[in-house]
Structure formats: C-alpha cells, structure tokens
Amino acid sequence: MESRGTNNSNAISQARCIHASRLPEYRTPFGARPCDSHTELFFDCYREASGVTLCYTYGLYKFSYHEEPMYRVSGSSRYHVDLMLPHEPSILFYWFRFKVAGDCEDLPEGYLVNRPEDISEDAFTAPELTLYYGAAADTADGEGTLYREPPRVGADEDKYPYAFQITVYNKEFKTPDYMKGANIYQIFPDRFARDTGFNVEAMKNANPRPERVYHEDWDEDVDIYGKPETGYLACDFYGGSLRGIKEKLPYLKELGINILYMNPIFEARSSHRYDTADYLNVDPMLGGVSAFNELSREAEAAGIKIILDGVFSHTGADSIYFDKFGRYGTNGAYEAFRDGTESRYRSWYNLYRTADGNINYDSWWGFPDLPNVNEDDLSYRNFIFGDKGVVDTWTSRGADGFRLDVSDELPDGFIRQMRSTLKAKTNGEGMLVGEVWEDASNKCSYGSYRDFMLGNTHDSVMGYTFRHILLDFLCGYISAEVADSRFEGFRERYPSQAYYCMMNLVSSHDVPRIMTMLGKPCETDDREIQRGIEVDAGDYDRCASLARMAYAFQNAYIGAACLYYGDEVLMQGYKDPFNRRTYPWNRLTSKQTETLAFFKRIAGLRKVNSCLRTGFYKTLLAHEGAFAFERYLSEGRDFFGHQGTGARKIVFLMNRSEKPLYATVSDSFAGTAVTEITGDWHPPLSDNMIFGGTENGTLTIGLRPYSAAYIIY
C-alpha cells in the first residue's frame, strides 16, 4: 500500500487538507494509549487557512469539551500539537476546525462560494467559511474528510459527522498471556459428545421435566416443535456431557486448542441453559460437579484452560431463586411475592401486580422464562462475588475465566467488580470476555458510553465485528481495501492487550455457521424453511474453499482464533437451533475428513510459530479480492517484548476472486511487500499455490481462485 512519508509532507500540505490517524506522520504513537501519556497530532491544512484549532472532548459518562490552537510547522502548511492525554481512563474524540475564504481555490467542489456577478472583483470581499475536518468511513490509513458542521459524539446522537477517536486506557491494564493468540474451541455441551457410559434411561432420569424431549438417536435432527401441550421451549436433549468432552481432549489437542469455552453448564431447564436454575451446580444432565472436576483436572494436565459462560443479567423462571413453578421448594422470589411471604431472593427481582391483579415482572427482552435480575442489588452481588459465591466456587473448582453473556446489559460497576474479583481469585490470571457485538471501544447503551475497552472491565470481547468484516469480504460484499480499513480501525481503537485477546470467531451458537452463510441463504424466520437451508451441491467446493480460507485468515490474524465445534468438518446450520446440531462423529464424508486434516495442519502452524500468536502485524496488500499481510518478530522478539519461537516472519496471502493471481513478495525481512498482482496465469496451476524461483530478492507465487497461502521465513 502507498505510504505518505514525512519527506514529502510539505508538498502534501500545499495541495491537500489531510489528517490520517493511522499514519505516523499525522498521529504518533499509533492507536489506543495509556492514561497520562502523550500523543502528537499533525494536520496539513490549506495554505490560506486561519484559526487552525484542535477540538476535542473526553470522558465516559460525562464529557468535557476543549479547544487548543495548533502551531504551524515552520515553512509549511502543517500544524502540530502535543496533547497530554487524560489521567482517567476515557474516550477522547477530536477533530480540526479552521477558517478559509469562501472562494479559496483549494476548496473542494461543493464548498466554493461564488462571487455575485454585479459586484466587481476589486470590491468583492470573499466570505469566510468555518470548516471542520473529521474522520471518514472505510478510508485508507484513517484519512478524514471535510464537513460543514462539527462531529456529533453524544451517546444518544447520530454519530455523523464522524470524529477521530483515541481510546485512553488504564495504564495498569494487562491481560493473561495464555489468551493472547490462543486457539479456542467453543462447545455447546449437549451436542458435542456423549461419553462411553451413556445410557438413554439415565439421561431421561437425570433431571426430569415433563416438557423435555429426549433424542435416543444422536444423529436425529434438532426439535422445533416441543411437546404438544407446551410448544417449542428449546428443551430437547441428546445427552452430550462433560465426560464426553473429557474423552475428546486428545482430539482438541490435535486441533492445537489451548482454551475450551463452553456454553452454560449450570443447572437449567432448557438445553441451551441460558435460563440458569442453580449457579453453583453443574446440570445433572451433563454429569454434575464431579464430571466438571474430572474435566478440569484432565484439561489442566493437557495444557487446556477452561472458560465458562456466565449468565448474570437474568435467571430462569424455573430456578432456585425465582421458582415460578414450585419445583425447588426454596421459597423463591415469585412464590414469596405471590403468597405475601419473604424470600432471601426477593430483592433480586422486580415483581409487581398489574391493574387486574395478575403478577408480572421485568424479564429479558420480554421472555417470561427469563426474569431480569437487579445487578446492583448488594445481596445479589454478594452471592456472585462474595465468599463461597459463584466466582469463588468455580475458580476453586478449576475454571480459568468467564465469558459474560450480554455484557452491554450489565452495569459497568458489576463488570468491574466481576473482573477485580476474578483477578483476586486467580492471581491475576483469570480471563473475562464480554459478549459485545459492536465496536466495544465506543459502545453506547442505556444512554451512556460503556467502560468496555478502558482496562477496567473486560480483558477482551467476542469478535463478532471480526466475523462481520471477514464474511463480507469472502462473500464479495466489500473489497479487500474496505476490509483492511475496517480491521485497521479496530486495531487502532482497541488497546493491544485486549486486541491480541479478541475472541475472533466466524460461527457461534448465536449466528448461522460460516459454511451456510457462504452459500448466501435468503433471510427467513420460518424454522421449517431454515431446517432445509444448506449449500447447493454445485457450490459446495467453492464454499468449502472459502470456509478454509476464513480459518486460515483467522489463524494468522491478531487475536485468539475461536473455532465453533464442527466448523472443522464444515458443519452446516442456519439460525438457532440449526447451528446447534450434534457433531457427526461417525459419519464424516471424505471432504469433511480432508478439511479436518487441513484444520489440524493449519493449527499446528500457530502452535509452533509465536509470530502468528503475538507477533507484529503489517498489511502488505489489500486490493479487490486479494489480501496479504505479515506477522513477524522484531530482532527475535514479539510485540510484547518476549523472546519468540519458530519462524521470524510469516506472510499470509488470500485470493477471494474467481481468477488465479500472481504475487511477488520480497525475500528479505526489511523489504517485504507485495509488489505485483495480475490476472494473467503462466505457467498453468497444478495446486493451490505454486512457488516460483527467487530472483533479485523476490519470490513469485501463484494463487488459485478461492485459495490462501502461508510463506514461512
């Protein structure tokens, strides 16, 4: 990619008005910054401009606005300011303001103010315009654009025009090293594996409920009807268990996995278990606490950490704490309110009577099976964070961290207390990941910016933004230029400690599987139609190639690569519950077996080469359907200054297009760059990748359509 160096900055400033937040000649150092540090900002402005001013506002729940005059660099139209960043973790937005004559020749089209014809040129005084320079979407190097009005940055405002952003994070922020560049495997526990001692009758008797549906056949499709008397309640079970997972630990090791993330395992009524019934016990259907203890011990011996799914914004109506159906006999909040008695859980919920005398209560998104919890209630917090509470109990049993369900629906104070408690219980090594679907660095909810990327709450978040960008690129909805700009935008806004721990995913229990999405299915909410959605046979090979490319990219890019169970064998499935089908252990096709071998081979690269886990990053090429970047060590050390192992540099190249492509890559560390790419192919292809000879310090390779390659130095 073209880079505008400082040696020609004066020429640029004479011709253009520009600030590019990702180039060192305009902002240094790069990206998010710790509190009390400094950032230098440079702005090339029109030569006739006056009153060039840096405008900025910073804060979190409340913002403070300020203006600072910028100083012209001698002999140029470049302006500069050295900004000391806030002492408190905060979000800082900035933009530039200046004035120009209305008929200044440098103004872009649309900003020119014409001189009236009946006024002579000598008598005419050009009006003065106030212009603003702010951020723009999907531009190379974070280059901004001109606006006629200042950016809007209020939590409840439409954020257009855009402002530039600096994330100012806690200077003590540090995340566990084992999460940086990790290989994560996500399991939906009921659907991954039965243990060798599985018994159908034992499954039915483990924790019986009249509304439950039991699948005796592991390969049977998921239920979408439920019992006739209840309708669909997501209460169908296959008997996957924690001991089944334990028996598959060797399989996970073959995939290079070092972190196991499980969807909820606490006792609950449904098979998804997001309706918690008992936070302190493993669901009997999964084998109980003893099964978790066995899994924890063997996972630790295998070098695999365990992250649990924590659902703390709501509980189940059928639970110890609420007990709407009277199945627990614990004097839960619902029955206590109904009977006019008292309950230790009463203050956790907001129950009330309607005008007609019926009992009602706040619930998650209006689902009556999921009553909301008041997370600021001190009794509830003591239950979660206190001695022998939820965090204490599970860390003592061997859990290494939590993924927080619906983080943006939890108060910041609750998440801060969760992180501090978790760190205290694990000597600072516990991992806290949040479910955030949008940009966590400037996420707004409930009328405020959220404290998500400032080093106080989450260690990192789930990479739904990563998935969105990568899928859009692979499906051809955006170009490599746009994809690179969006990836670089997140790298700029997230602290490195968090970005290297991003749970980058392409599938999950909440979204359609990647193989299905690559087939570009039509949107539908009809479950009967959803059941039959799968990739057309004639398009299967193309989609399979793209799915493998997605994992190869994920495996090479910054962050933790999260593999949703079954993606390694190209499982298909549209929305819930079809993305939660059982793993096809004994019925893999030859193509699935080949893909599994591919996944194991690629995972091995990440395992032995630290540059792919914690190395530096540089985009080499982003052009239409071609994307190339390098991960490298600098003088043998990674981004965090640790001694690296394996290759000193790995270049990743990907061709999403329908035509074969050539790329020429420098064979020297200092000058690595993709310098040529064409659609002409000679000699003919014989594999996914052909290596040409090295000539004049360059390596020429060819990529087949829908293929990717690693070049290891």
Q: 29 preceded by cis ω (within 30°)?
A: yes
Which residues have a Cβ under 8 Å from the Cβ of 556 and sit 6 or more positions away? 606, 612, 629, 631, 650, 652, 710
- CA–CA gap between residue 492 and residue 494 (Å, rounded): 6
> Which residues lie across from 401 on neighbouring strands?
307, 431
3-state secondary structure 103-138: CCCCCCCCCCCCCCCCCCCCCCCCCEEEEEEEECCC
- CA–CA gap between residue 457 and residue 254 (Å, rounded): 33
Q: 684 preceded by cis ω (within 30°)?
A: no
- CA–CA gap between residue 89 and residue 86 (Å, rounded): 7
Read off the tokens for 296.
């924890």
Please give the helix or strand (H or E) that residue 267 lies within, else none. Answer: strand 266-268
Catalytic residue among 435, 492, 567, 638: 435
Which residues have a Cβ under 8 Å from the Cβ of 495 and sit 6 or more positions away? 31, 32, 167, 169, 173, 453, 455
Sheet containing 71-72: which strands, arranged edge to edge? 27-28, 38-44, 78-84, 71-72
Degrees (nearest 5) of the Cα angle 455, 457, 459? Answer: 65
* Number of neighbouring beta carbons within 10 Å of residue 105: 8
Read off the tokens for 74.
């001698």
Instruction: Single out the residue of 315, 238, 236, 313 nearest to residue 280, CA to CA.
Output: 315
Q: 495 preceded by cis ω (within 30°)?
A: no
How many helices (H) and strands (E) in the chain?
A: 17, 34
Q: What is the DSSP string of 384-411?
A: HHSTTSHHHHHHHTT--EEEETTGGGS-
Instruction: Single out the residue of 495, 434, 493, 430 nearest to residue 462, CA to CA.
Output: 434
Torsion angles phi and psi, residue 166, rounded to 5: -125, 120
Instruction: Single out the residue of 88, 40, 56 nearest to residue 455, CA to CA.
Output: 88
- CA–CA gap between residue 459 and residue 179 (Å, rounded): 9
- CA–CA gap between residue 168 and residue 587 (Å, rounded): 51
> 630 catalytic, yes or no?
no
Which residues have a Cβ under 8 Å from the Cβ of 424 and sit 6 or more positions away? none
For β-strands 128-134 and 90-101, DSSP reports them as antiparallel
> 568 catalytic, yes or no?
no
Catalytic residue among 25, 223, 405, 630: 405
- CA–CA gap between residue 150 and residue 97 (Å, rounded): 8
Which residues have a Cβ under 8 Å from the Cβ of 395 and sit 6 or more positions away? 422, 425, 426, 430
Active site residues: 405, 435
